Amino acid sequence: MAALQKVRNAGPIVVVALFLGLLGFIATDWTKVMEIFSMSDRNNVGSINGKDIELQEFNNMVEEYTNVIKTSNGLTNLTDEQMQSIRDQVWQNLVETELITAETSKLGLIVTDRELQQIIAKGEHPMLQQTPFRNQQGQFDYNLLKQTIDQCNEILTTPDASADLVEEAHSLIAWWQFIEKNLRNTLLAQKYQSLLAGCIISNPVAAQQNFDARTNEKTVLMAALPYSSIRDNEVTVSDKELKSKYKELKELFETPFDTRDIKYIDVVVKASKEDEDALNAQMTEYAQQLADGVSPARIIRESRSLVPYSPLPISKKALPADIANQVDSMSAGQQAGPYYNNMDNTMNVVRVMSVQTMPDSIQYRIIGVPGIDMALAEKSADSIMMSLIKI
């Protein structure tokens, strides 16, 4: 009983101690919670329309865009200024995409996979015209795209494929996925803008003015006196009149921005001996790598060649004249260069990978057989074929 009484007497002290301990525990947990929120803030690069953008997500987008720039321009490294420009561009695209997606989701506007594939197959969108999948006329070639993607997938599924080919295939597929994603966002934005344009109606005042302009007619009798018909010695203008007219029209002569007078001359810039030697050494190294069997796609990308690489056979007609002339006198496996072409001021290395004989064009004729019933259409087509055979 004495021990129990001691506990009872010490009750207030125990309660205070428990309270202080609990307070310290809560304070410790609150500190951890604040640290978590602080870490969460540090992991976000910003907020768009109330949505937090995580740093990792933003970095992934920057890396994706960077790889696209490298693949498209044949670069291996980018400068700090280029990386900053890429980050700004990615953030701007992200803002536009998030804002448009938020509005279109409310309206139920989407771009289906079928719509996207139809646009790609049609090949008339300006974004597709900037891709390397173009025919000799410079138009987007959907069949060339499919062949290239199929070849890349075949390389990725081949166990004994070289590391360079696998890297090139991965880069090309990632690049095309980036194009598809941006094309989908562009089509969605165009849908939204078309919807907004259709919602704009004319106000009564503008409608009345448009109606009056189309319906009201006026007859005007006008006489013109050209300035050229008046002799200069017949007109006298005083300084006072000039100053008065200047004050009246002086606002028209104001230039709101700074102007500069620039004089320049054309100077033909010729490479120095040191630059020529450095370029020759670099091209010789590329030629040696090509002869040693390094992936041609990798060499052409790193050298930033003006003639793009294509894994498919191409006609010499699609090549520059000097390279076509070189190819005429070469066989499969032969290599020429580096040599300097004075006509277009280029340094060239030419290697014939293989020679194939195939038609570069196909001529066909078609006779359309209209009809709703497929059986009757087939019967008519058979009759036409029999008539042609008899002829």
Same-domain status, 67 and 140: no
Same-domain status, 191 and 300: yes
- Per residue in 147-161, pLDDT (tens digit) is 888 888 888 888 887
Give CA 36 to chain center in angstroms.
38
Same-domain status, 142 and 164: yes
Q: Which segments of the chain does DSSP mark as H helices, in order?
A: 2-9, 11-42, 55-73, 80-107, 113-122, 126-129, 142-156, 163-199, 204-215, 239-249, 273-291, 296-303, 321-328, 374-390
> Would 309 be classed as within a structural domain?
no
Q: What is the pLDDT of residue 23?
A: 40
Same-domain status, 131 and 91: no
> Would 363 be classed as within a structural domain?
no
Mean pLDDT of 53-57: 80
Residue 6 predicted with pLDDT over 60: no
Q: What is the pLDDT of residue 391?
A: 62
Same-domain status, 30 and 94: no
Q: What is the C-alpha separation between 162 and 148, in angstroms, rounded?
A: 17
Q: What is the C-alpha separation between 296 and 289, in angstroms, rounded?
A: 9
Same-domain status, 300 and 157: yes
Percent of the chain at pLDDT exceeding 90: 1
Residue 38 predicted with pLDDT over 60: no
Q: What is the pLDDT of residue 128?
A: 78
> Would 244 be classed as within a structural domain?
no
DSSP codes, 193-251: HHHHHHH----HHHHHHHHHHHH-----------GGGS-GGG----HHHHHHHHHHHGG
Q: What is the pLDDT of residue 28?
A: 42
- Per residue in 250-304, pLDDT (tens digit) is 888 888 788 888 888 888 777 788 888 888 888 888 888 877 777 777 777 777 7
Same-domain status, 187 and 300: yes
> Would 77 be classed as within a structural domain?
yes
Same-domain status, 32 and 90: no
* Confidence at 359, pLDDT banded by 50, 70, 90: low
More confident residue, 236 or 202: 236
Q: Which residues pair with 339 in a beta bridge?
A: 348
Residue type, 302: E
Same-domain status, 113 and 189: yes
Same-domain status, 158 and 300: yes
> Would 333 be classed as within a structural domain?
no
> For residues 201-235, b (16+ Cβ closer than 10 Å) or e, as one string?
eeeeeeeeeeeeeeeeeeeeeeeeeeeeeeeeeee
Boundaries of domain holding 95: 43-106
* Confidence at 193, pLDDT banded by 50, 70, 90: confident
Neighbours of 191 (CB within 10 A): 17
Same-domain status, 56 and 128: no
Q: What is the pLDDT of residue 353?
A: 76
Q: What is the pLDDT of residue 24?
A: 42
Domain count, the chain: 3
Same-domain status, 113 and 186: yes
Q: What is the C-alpha separation between 335 and 313, in angstroms, rounded?
A: 17
> Would 149 be classed as within a structural domain?
yes
> Would 365 be classed as within a structural domain?
no
> Would 32 be classed as within a structural domain?
yes
- Nearest residue to 311 via CA among 150, 185, 183, 197: 150
Q: What is the model's pTM? A: 0.43
Q: What is the pLDDT of residue 27?
A: 42
Neighbours of 5 (CB within 10 A): 9
- Per residue in 68-104, pLDDT (tens digit) is 777 666 667 777 788 888 888 888 888 888 888 888 8
